[in-house]
Amino acid sequence: MTFDRTIRIAPSILSADFAAFGAECEAIEAQGADWVHVDVMDGHFVPNLTFGPAMVKAIRPHVKTVMDVHLMIAPADPYLQAFAEAGADILTVHAEAGPHLHRSLQAVRGLGCKAGVALNPATPADAIDYVLDDIDLICVMTVNPGFGGQSFIASQVAKVRRLRAMVGDRPVHIEIDGGVTPETAPRVVAAGADVLVAGSGVFKGGSVANPGVYGDNIRAIRRAAEAARSA
Catalytic residue among 34, 68, 177, 194: 177
Binding footprint of ligand DX5, residue count (CB under 6 A):
22
Q: Is 177 in the site for Zn ion (CB under 5 A)?
A: yes
Residues counted in the chain: 231
Strands (E), 27-119: 36-41, 67-72, 90-94, 114-119
| 145 and 175 Cβ atoms separated by less than 8 Å | no
CB of 98 to ligand DX5, least distance (A): 18
Interface with Zn ion includes 70 (CB under 5 A)?
yes
Interface with ligand DX5 by CB under 6 A: which range of 16-24, 86-94, 101-109, 144-152? Answer: 144-152
Could you give the count of Cα atoms lying within 13 Å of 226 in the half-sphere of its Cβ?
A: 10
94 binds Zn ion (CB under 5 A): no
Residues 113-142 that bind ligand DX5 (CB under 6 A): none
Specify whether 177 is catalytic.
Answer: yes
Is-contact 74 94, C-beta < 8 A?
A: yes
Among 39, 68, 136, 175, binds ligand DX5 (CB under 6 A): 39
Q: Is 150 in the site for ligand DX5 (CB under 6 A)?
A: yes
Q: How far is the CB of 190 from ligand DX5 (least distance, A)?
A: 19
Dihedral of CA atoms 86, 200, 136, 65 in degrees, nearest 10, equals 60
Binding-site residue ranges: 12, 37, 39, 70, 146-149, 177-179, 199-200
39 binds Zn ion (CB under 5 A): yes
Contact 92, 176 (CB under 8 A): no
Helix, strand or coil for residue 197? strand
Residue selected from 7, 8, 12, 157 as contacting ligand DX5 according to rule CB under 6 A: 12
10 Å Cβ neighbour count for 126? 10
Do the bridges between strand 67-72 and strand 36-41 make them parallel or antiparallel, or are there none, so unpaired?
Answer: parallel
Question: Could you confirm whether 34 is annotated as catalytic?
Answer: no
Cβ closest to ligand DX5, residue 7 vs residue 197: 197
* Cβ 100 vs Cβ 121: under 8 Å: no
Binding site for ligand DX5 (CB under 6 A): 12, 14-15, 37, 39, 70, 143, 145-150, 177-180, 197-201
Binding site for Zn ion (CB under 5 A): 39, 70, 177
